Amino acid sequence: MQVGVLALQGAFAAHSDCLTSIGVQSIEVRNPEQLGSVDALLMPGGESSTMSQLLESSGLFDPIAARIADGMPVFGTCAGMILLASEILDGRSDQRSFSAIDISVRRNAFGRQVDSFEATINSSVGDFHGVFIRAPRIERVGEDVEVLGSFNDEPVLVRQGNVLAASFHPELSNDARLHEYFVSITANRKKV
Amino acid sequence: MATMVSTNGSSSTGTQRVKRGLAEMLKGGVIMDVVNSDQAKIAEDAGACAVMALERVPADIRRDGGVARMSDPEMIMAIQASVSIPVMAKVRIGHFVEAQIIQSLGVDFIDESEVLTPADETHHIDKFDFTIPFVCGATNLGEALRRISEGAALIRSKGEAGTGNMVEAVRHLRSILGDIRKITQADSAELFDWAKKLQAPLSLVQEIAETGKLQVPLFAAGGIATPADAALAMQLGAETVFVGSGIFKSADPAPRAKAIVEATTHFRDADVLARVSRGLGVAMTGIAMDEINETQRFAQRGW
């Protein structure tokens, strides 16, 4: 199994380190050719407006959309979650998303950096130490979306089929359990 | 150590992890100097991952002379209102009151910058006293580690700002990264000597020997003017770039800004670099180092 980490901009290196720590082979994905060699894709945090533009200029947007439609597992954290959402609130007007998971997400809804925080998150996958950086908020969850984790009764970790999304940064807390969970989604898919 | 970490119920703000976290998010993106909201929008449209709000770009500060200070809060607020990406602002070295003011504006990152006129010739700001993160410049590893020990969440090369000449940034990156490589080869006894030579805390030197990298992200700044410059900094080991005068002092800022964004992402792909470098018009003129008097070099500021 090889997991791709979308490396256009943002915290891709920290995700690669997490995957390495659990013995999973990963490559940085910056072009369609690299995408072709991966079984699953991780979309890191960063600036979603920057990533949207680089997805277009690198020719990656349509191939990624096609792979997601084909069932490739994807895991988006923070900006990565925004890219996967069916609806972006407070985004740029030209910002496109993959509409891979039926949620409405508001950019930077937890505030500016002065409001960024870390906290314990209760989830069905386990309790996590969540780091929220200028974090987006999940304001609506569709019927087919499973809420796996929440903070202050708000969803922060959600899943729909092979699509996993978190508004926080598991890659920043030296805890690779969510990466393991994502890898298990990928492994189960491969068996089918 | 005094820290401005506040805990509300089960959540904490202003921790080192939260501060360094924002620096992680900026990796691979371009941080652009802007002097008004029009420029800020051009930067955001071009794909900047953050903007640095300041009244004059370094090239103009260099030309004008005099004392360079924190920007007018009104101008910073106008830029905050015009973009959705993080906004940074500069304060003078050691001027912790300017930093208090910038923090109260809700700016996302403070640059304690040698480009402005230093307010203290001995002390830098105690950055643990703040909730928002700081970036500081460094010319060598010792300086970088002293800034980290004061609480900096991000280090950038100083380079020589406002020159459009990246020779100093290359010198600083090579010095910092070269010494990190040497330290990973040192034995435990030699680390004491490294700490002494670098005038840096032993514990941080020992940590580098173990991990092989700086405790916080390392970005390049100072003199970057072209897509090739950005890619050079990245290939040398910087994790992203600040571009100051290089964009808005060029003939056609918007396409140059976009090209530098693409070059920073695809920094190892010469085909992409060739494509984005085409037809950008005239880059900023730039200054050779021997045209600048030693006393007028910004990089010498900081202790």
Poorest-pLDDT segment among A128-142, B45-59, B278-292:
B278-292
Interface size A-B, in CB pairs within 8 Å, comes to 128
The pLDDT value given to residue B6: 65
Give the pLDDT confidence of A38-65 residue by residue, as tens digits.
999 999 999 999 999 999 999 999 999 9
How far apart CA A79 and CA A44 sit, in angstroms, is 7
The pLDDT value given to residue B7: 59
Catalytic residue among A15, A18, A171, A179: A171
How far apart CA A137 and CA A99 sit, in angstroms, is 16
Chain B contact for A191, CB < 8 A?
Answer: no
- What mean pLDDT comes out for the span A130-137? 96
pTM here is: 0.95
Question: Which residue of chain B is at minimal alpha-carbon distance from A174?
Answer: B17
Does residue B5 register a pLDDT over 80? no
Is A58 in Cβ contact with B11 (below 8 Å)? no
Is A117 in Cβ contact with B25 (below 8 Å)? no
Among the listed residues A14, A96, A5, A87, the one whose alpha carbon sits nearest the alpha carbon of residue A48: A96
Catalytic residue among B19, B27, B41, B90: B90
Task: Suggest the residue from A15, A31, A47 to mutate for an interface test with chain B (most B CBs closer than 10 A).
Answer: A47
Query: What's the longest Cα–Cα distance across chain B?
Result: 57
User: Which is more confident, B286 or A72?
Assistant: A72
The pLDDT value given to residue B288: 87
Of A50, A91, A116, the CB nearest to B49: A50
A 76-135 residues with CB < 8 A to B: 78-79, 90-92, 107-108, 112-120, 131, 133-134
Cβ contacts of A7 on chain B, cutoff 8 Å: 28, 265
CA of residue B254 relative to chain centroid, distance: 21
How far apart CA B157 and CA B155 sit, in angstroms, is 7
Does residue B263 register a pLDDT over 90? yes
- What mean pLDDT comes out for the span A166-189? 94
- Degrees to nearest 5, angle at CA B7 with B109 and A107: 50
The pLDDT value given to residue B9: 56
Q: Where are the beta strands (DSSP E) in B199-291?
A: 218-219, 241-243
Residue A173: CB atoms within 10 A of its CB come to 19
Report how far apart the first and last C-alpha atoms of chain A are (Å, whole number).
14
> Distance of CA A182 to CAs A18, A73, B133, B153, Å?
12, 8, 31, 30
Cβ-contact B61, B162 below 8 angstroms: yes
Task: Suggest the residue from A17, A27, A33, A50 to mutate for an interface test with chain B (most B CBs closer than 10 A).
Answer: A50
Q: What is the least distance, in Å, from the CA of A20 to any CA of chain B?
A: 15
Q: What is the least distance, in Å, from the CA of B183 to any CA of chain A?
A: 22
Q: What is the pLDDT of chain B when averaged over all its residues? A: 94
Cβ contacts of A77 on chain B, cutoff 8 Å: none
The pLDDT value given to residue A191: 59
For residue B277, what pLDDT band results from cuts at 50, 70 and 90?
very high
Cβ contacts of B6 on chain A, cutoff 8 Å: none
Is B26 in Cβ contact with A31 (below 8 Å)? no
Cβ-contact A150, A171 below 8 angstroms: no
Does residue B226 register a pLDDT over 90? yes
Give the pLDDT confidence of B234-249 residue by residue, as tens digits.
999 999 999 989 999 9
The pLDDT value given to residue B1: 38
Question: Which residue of chain B is at minimal alpha-carbon distance from A51?
Answer: B47
Q: Quote the tokens at residue B134.
A: 């700081």
Give the pLDDT confidence of B182-211 residue by residue, as tens digits.
999 999 999 999 999 999 999 999 999 999
Catalytic residue among A18, A169, A179, A180: A169
Does residue A94 register a pLDDT over 90? no
Of B8, B132, B266, the CB nearest to A114: B132
How far apart CA B219 and CA B137 sit, in angstroms, is 9
Give the relative orientation of helices A177-191 and A12-21 as an angle to the nearest 10 degrees: 70
Is A78 a known active-site residue? yes
Q: What is the least distance, in Å, from the CA of A134 to any CA of chain B?
A: 8
The pLDDT value given to residue B2: 42
How far apart CA B26 and CA B47 sit, in angstroms, is 12
Which residue shows structure tokens 């100051």?
B244
Question: Which residue of chain A is at minimal alpha-carbon distance from B82?
Answer: A92
- What mean pLDDT comes out for the span B220-230? 96
Is B10 in Cβ contact with A113 (below 8 Å)? no
Does residue B296 register a pLDDT over 90? no
> Percent of chain A scored above 90 by pLDDT?
89
